[in-house]
Structure 1
């Protein structure tokens, strides 16, 4: 789809959903009014039934109708929330197509200034790659996406499997939107998943012990029989109250364990309902890729079991009503019964719970890349090679709108492994490095990339573009840069294959020292399994092409000055830069005399 067609697609979906939402809202109002009417009729029948007894027969019918209406109102309200979320999904995509991704989580919590490349390449934060790609609604889905953007897949097979899955899911728009909207249903807390894990690891203190099974079966039966007997035999009620006292006393010996148990699992009903809904969305989709079928198999019947867990948690949460639980615990040993059923569920399903939740995360990750592919049909899936080779045709930065971007070609391999890129300020050197780096990150996660052809090695990215000093570590900017370069050299010496992106290295020292150090560093790169791009203002580095013509090539970005106006075409050209713009701009701005 072209950009206009995509906008029309999302707008059309938003319009249709808005009409449906209006219809559901009207139904909610109708049901609310009918429910109010039934409640009034119930009260009137009860009042006049004291005089006209025949009206009392209507009470059970009215009560049944009222319960049905309450259920329908709840169902319609849930449908309304889901439709609102689906509309939000469409509107967010429309906003994203305009180049504004601020409606999506920017992943700033994942910013790590000393990561080998994520800080330099703007992988996290405002205007980041994460914000561009992210369509995850669960916290752990976002964590997985962040991890994959910061750590590539280790094998070509895994990348290819994910490429196939992304193609599969990109065509299933309704499924992706349903996953997103369902995930927006409940806001997660950071501790939700942690507490679920801890709860799963707790050993049962009731289930599996025959004594408790017997007590929980016999005591309630005996107590209920004594309750019935108390209506038949005079004086039998004392035995009923004795049984109630015995049950409450028995409960008292376990109340601390019950409270501790409840602490881990309480308030998890809504989030478990959300997980169950997300798992249910996976069940009935006709996937064609190996990975998606595998995830679907892992999620089989998981929604039913997680829904059952949510129901059991809801039942345990009912103990918060003191008056109700005094009666139910005294007659049915309610709290212990609830804990026993939850422990039984845990014993039967705990081993699978983590896998089910991981399936949701993986699905959200793939759906995010699927949306990226759908929204950018001009992107291509890269070929992954086992050699030391990186080739791109019409490469652009994925976050720059298509009609505003300028594309360039790249070729690096084991023979011609180093590009020295010179050029004036603002000419496009840094953007070019980031364009290549970001697309390599996408390529090695199984995503399509912003190019017309892309051939990428299984290679680790290392960059030095935005080195940060550290007051906490008492580390200056220059020393931090040296540490970064040292870590890169150490990895090369270990035999790692690296894509190295450096922008104006050794900025923290004088020009003579910087030049000598830079030249020595470039020469060292020649002997290691690396592909290197170095952006620099230092034209002396260009002389290295004459010394190592088979390894090093000079490229540049040149400005154009016509009629005293500075302009850039942002096209990568062969050779060494001849024009610089600092003096021109300083004169233009009146900083120095003309």
Structure 2
């Protein structure tokens, strides 16, 4: 499949969903008008009932019809919102294929300058890898996606299983988009999930009291029986009143705790219904790969049970109505019935709710990666190998458009394990470091990479490219860089294999000191189990290839100056760079005079 074919699929889906949306809006208008007509007829029938008794039957039928129309309207409106989300999703993907990912969450809250590599590699922020790949809508889904890009999967087996799941989802655009559209309906607050899980741990008010189960049946039954009997035996009126007061006495005993319980859980009805909707999509889909089968199995019956929880919360919310509180608590111990049933739900399903919510988050992440794979049909799934070696053929940066991306090959490990990359300003050194770093992040998260082939081990990634000073921590730029390098060396000395990316080491000191320190640092890498790429303008580091011919290799990006014009081919070549462009550019821009 080509990018044009991907775009055509999205365009066709926009047309299809837009047509369905137009029809749905027409149907909603018809139902709305019918509802209005039925309401007017109902009021008329009620009025006529006072003079002609048989109209009461017509009023009853019209009331039933009105309720059915209200329910139908609500269902149609939900379907309309879902279709609107599907149209939006496909419109955004068409733009994404053209390089415009501004419509997606940039993950700014995950930007962390102290992380081992995420800030250097543009994992988060505007124009980032997260913005390009994430399609999660729940807050925990986004958190899981961020974690996947900053903490690799634990084993080659796990990565392979996620690759298989990604392939299956990439081919299942219907499930991906319907699941994503359902997720877009969620208006989730930051503490919703946490508060739900905390509610599961709260001690019961009623459920752990065994006598309450009998009391909640017996007392309302006796009250209703006394009321019914009072029509025939006058003395039972006082008994009915006494039983109603007894119900209020029990509620009075627990009213503070019931109020606190209601306050805590009342706002969760809508979010629970949305969770149930997502779980319904997950459990009804038939998958073939182990990871997706497991998630679907975890969601089995979850949609029904979570929706039941939402209904129970809705029932408890009805106590906010004064008439409900007065009548229902007098007859049925309504508040205590609701609390008891919610606590019963919690007792039965508490152990499952977190699993169900985690299944939603993990599915969102896999759908995100599946969409990323679908949008990049030319990307390859990496092979995760044991040798300490990275071999890439036709590797490019995944965020550069295909027609602009210049691919490069690289073999790193076994011999040599350290590459010194020199080159002129803007020739592509930093982009190359980010290219291999981002592709490794993708590889270890189970995603396809921007390469014809890619082989790598499970290895810890460390970088030093954008170290910044910190006024808050009273830390200069140079000291911050030294701390980053110390962390890397401490890990190497503990025999932890690392993949190290460094761009212009020791920028915060003078050129002589920088050169001596950089050479000494690279020499420290040689005896340790690591792979390293060091980008530098300092050609003196190239002498290390002579000193360590098996471990160190020189590569470069060259600039070309022809007819007073500067150009780059962005191709990685063996050897040291021979051409620099700073003086040329300063003359070209009139900063310094031409010779």
User: What residue in structure 2 maps to residue 446 of structure 1?
Assistant: 446
Q: Distance in 2 between matches of 1:531 and 1:495?
A: 13
Q: Distance in 2 between matches of 1:564 and 1:378?
A: 37
User: What residue in structure 2 maps to residue 205 of structure 1?
Assistant: 205
**How many angstroms does 1:205 deviate by?**
2.0
User: What residue in structure 2 maps to residue 378 of structure 1?
Assistant: 378
User: What residue in structure 2 maps to residue 556 of structure 1?
Assistant: 556
User: What residue in structure 2 maps to residue 186 of structure 1?
Assistant: 186
Contact 1:169 1:176 (8 Å CA) reproduced: yes
Contact 2:137 2:186 (8 Å CA) reproduced: no
Q: Distance in 1 between matches of 2:457 and 2:214?
A: 64
Matches within 5 A, 1:104-119: 104-119=104-119
Q: Distance in 1 between matches of 2:532 and 2:263?
A: 54
User: What residue in structure 2 maps to residue 12 of structure 1?
Assistant: 12
User: What residue in structure 1 maps to residue 531 of structure 2?
Assistant: 531
User: What residue in structure 2 maps to residue 406 of structure 1?
Assistant: 406
Contact 1:418 1:552 (8 Å CA) reproduced: yes
Matches within 5 A, 1:455-494: 455-494=455-494
Secondary structure at 1:532 match in 2 = strand
Contact 1:133 1:368 (8 Å CA) reproduced: yes
Contact 2:138 2:186 (8 Å CA) reproduced: no
Q: Distance in 2 between matches of 1:57 and 1:301?
A: 40
**How many angstroms does 1:285 deviate by?**
2.1
Contact 1:106 1:131 (8 Å CA) reproduced: yes
User: What residue in structure 2 maps to residue 227 of structure 1?
Assistant: 227
Q: Distance in 1 between matches of 2:56 and 2:547?
A: 104
**How many angstroms does 1:583 deviate by?**
0.5
Contact 1:430 1:535 (8 Å CA) reproduced: yes
**How many angstroms does 1:321 deviate by?**
1.4
**How many angstroms does 1:562 deviate by?**
1.1
User: What residue in structure 1 maps to residue 41 of structure 2?
Assistant: 41
User: What residue in structure 2 maps to residue 351 of structure 1?
Assistant: 351
Listed one character per residue, the Cα deviations across residues 488-530 of structure 1 (whole Å, up to 9, x for unaligned) are 0000001111110000010000000000000001111111100
Q: CA RMSD in A?
A: 1.1
Secondary structure at 1:580 match in 2 = coil
Secondary structure at 1:287 match in 2 = coil
User: What residue in structure 2 maps to residue 248 of structure 1?
Assistant: 248
Contact 2:3 2:377 (8 Å CA) reproduced: no
User: What residue in structure 2 maps to residue 96 of structure 1?
Assistant: 96
Contact 1:182 1:274 (8 Å CA) reproduced: yes
Listed one character per residue, the Cα deviations across residues 315-356 of structure 1 (whole Å, up to 9, x for unaligned) are 111111123212111211111100100111111110111111
Listed one character per residue, the Cα deviations across residues 105-136 of structure 1 (whole Å, up to 9, x for unaligned) are 11111111100000100101111110110010
Secondary structure at 2:36 match in 1 = helix
**How many angstroms does 1:235 deviate by?**
5.4
Q: Distance in 2 between matches of 1:370 and 1:469?
A: 38
User: What residue in structure 2 maps to residue 297 of structure 1?
Assistant: 297
User: What residue in structure 2 maps to residue 316 of structure 1?
Assistant: 316
Contact 1:167 1:370 (8 Å CA) reproduced: yes
Contact 1:114 1:468 (8 Å CA) reproduced: no
Q: Distance in 2 between matches of 1:294 and 1:509?
A: 54
Q: Distance in 1 between matches of 2:315 and 2:11?
A: 42
**How many angstroms does 1:314 deviate by?**
1.0
Matches within 5 A, 1:394-433: 394-433=394-433
TM-score where L is the length of structure 1: 0.98
User: What residue in structure 1 maps to residue 257 of structure 2?
Assistant: 257
User: What residue in structure 2 maps to residue 54 of structure 1?
Assistant: 54
Contact 1:416 1:552 (8 Å CA) reproduced: yes
Q: Distance in 2 between matches of 1:396 and 1:159?
A: 21
Contact 1:414 1:531 (8 Å CA) reproduced: no
Q: Does 1:152 align with 2:172?
A: no
Q: Distance in 2 between matches of 1:545 and 1:226?
A: 99
More moved, 300-309 vs 209-218: 209-218
Q: Distance in 2 between matches of 1:128 and 1:259?
A: 46
Listed one character per residue, the Cα deviations across residues 259-297 of structure 1 (whole Å, up to 9, x for unaligned) are 222233211111111111111111232311111111111
User: What residue in structure 2 maps to residue 500 of structure 1?
Assistant: 500
More moved, 313-322 vs 113-122: 313-322
Contact 1:460 1:498 (8 Å CA) reproduced: yes
Q: Distance in 2 between matches of 1:572 and 1:227?
A: 91
Secondary structure at 1:502 match in 2 = strand
Secondary structure at 1:199 match in 2 = helix
User: What residue in structure 2 maps to residue 139 of structure 1?
Assistant: 139
Contact 1:166 1:367 (8 Å CA) reproduced: yes
More moved, 500-509 vs 555-564: 555-564
Listed one character per residue, the Cα deviations across residues 174-219 of structure 1 (whole Å, up to 9, x for unaligned) are 0000110001112111100110011000121211322211221111
Q: Distance in 2 between matches of 1:142 and 1:293?
A: 22
List structure 1 segments (4+ residues) > 6 angstroms apart after TM superposition.
Answer: none
**How many angstroms does 1:471 deviate by?**
1.1
**How many angstroms does 1:238 deviate by?**
3.4
TM-score where L is the length of structure 2: 0.98
Listed one character per residue, the Cα deviations across residues 229-274 of structure 1 (whole Å, up to 9, x for unaligned) are 3333335433323322221222111011112222332111111111
Q: Does 1:87 align with 2:70?
A: no
Q: Does 1:169 align with 2:145?
A: no
User: What residue in structure 1 maps to residue 71 of structure 2?
Assistant: 71
Q: Distance in 2 between matches of 1:17 and 1:382?
A: 35
Q: Distance in 2 between matches of 1:259 and 1:392?
A: 62
More moved, 51-60 vs 130-139: 51-60
**How many angstroms does 1:300 deviate by?**
1.1
